[in-house]
Amino acid sequence: MPEAPAASRRMAITVDDLPVGPPGKHTTAQQGEITDRLLAALTAHHVPAIGFVNESKLEVDGAVDPRRVELLTRWLDAGEELGNHGYAHLDLHRVPTEEWEADVLRGERVLRPLLKDRGRELQWFRHPYLHTGRSAEVQHQTAAFLERHGHRVAPVTIDNSEWVYGKAYATAWNRGDQDVLRRLGEDYVRYMLDVVTFYEGQSRQIVGRLIPQILLVHASALNSDWLGPLLDALAARGYRWVRLETAVEDPAFRHPTDGYTGAGGINWIQRWAITDHRDRKIFRGEPEVPDWVAELANRPEPSQDH
């Protein structure tokens, strides 16, 4: 098929780890500030995003905190969608399948009624770590489980290590270190554009054309400050924003992925290639997070109070 012109590039924005991550980095009040700024960026750019919720993050001292549930209502008030990301972000590659499935159901005890009160249905699920199972048996079992409970799996085509920037940024944000914040933010936008360029190339090599991209980022202080500039840069590249359900209507997303049972949480384009027994050399060249960012991310930071 001929490649779509730059002006018709499409992208769905998906945001993981709601209400706010990384865990333990921010007070509830700070989470409110981060949520408002993140939603302001999405609204200003007219982005129909979806946020994926870890309900364990709604709790303080083991009880659901209405102030944190209210952060989710802000997403709905802004016209955005919400999906299930598991209660405790359990790794399907590390826990028994039955425990993982129970965690999925526990992850919608607040979310499903919250959506129902607004006349909406919970439909999307995002696998923690993008780990979908180390065997075809586990993949098929959990896929059937999700389908029985009304969930559609949310794919990703542009995976990245943005979370490393987010971890480093949270520490600097709490300290008010403006110089580090700007350095991290500017390099984050640079890195993400390099990642987008790389996965556009993967799309051309593996699918044969540009497809609607599905970007994964996280609900974080980093994106409360820098998602807006990133969206500006992507719009200048020719992207327009679509809903997740619109993106997956592309025929490429009907391609099977069950040939991949590896340990990594790789994106769906590369899963299609592995299922088709393509040479994995085509995966080489993915942009890497600079060492200085990783070093900042690994510095210890005390947890915040509630």
Count Cβ neighbours within 10 Å for each residue of 240-259 and write b for 16 or more, e otherwise.
Answer: ebbebeebbeeebbeeebee
| pLDDT at residue 114 in the model | 98
CATH fold for the domain made of 12-297:
TIM Barrel (3.20.20)
CB 303 within 8 A of CB 227: no
Strand partners, 300: none
Q: Cα dist. 174→171, 181, 276 in Å?
A: 5, 10, 46
pLDDT by 10s per residue, the chain, length 306? 344 455 479 999 999 999 999 888 999 999 999 999 999 999 999 999 999 999 999 999 999 999 999 999 999 999 999 999 999 999 999 999 999 999 999 999 999 999 999 999 999 999 999 999 999 999 999 999 999 999 999 999 999 999 999 999 999 999 999 999 999 999 999 999 999 999 999 999 999 999 999 999 999 999 999 999 999 999 999 999 999 999 999 999 999 999 999 999 999 999 999 999 999 999 999 999 999 999 999 987 655 544
Cα separation, 219 vs 113, whole angstroms: 22
The shares of helix, strand and coil residues in the chain, as percent rounded to the nearest 5, are: 50, 10, 40
Helix, strand or coil, per DSSP, at residue 199: helix
| pLDDT at residue 2 in the model | 44
| pLDDT at residue 299 in the model | 86
| pLDDT at residue 4 in the model | 47
**Cis peptide bond upstream of 48, omega within 30:** no
Cα separation, 203 vs 208, whole angstroms: 7
β pairing state of 239-241 and 63-64: unpaired
For the chain, the structural domain boundaries read 12-297
CA atoms in the 13 A half-sphere facing the CB of 8 = 7
CB 132 within 8 A of CB 139: yes
Cα separation, 306 vs 193, whole angstroms: 35
DSSP assignment of 248-287 equals TTSGGGGS--TT---SS---HHHHHHHHTT--GGGGTT--
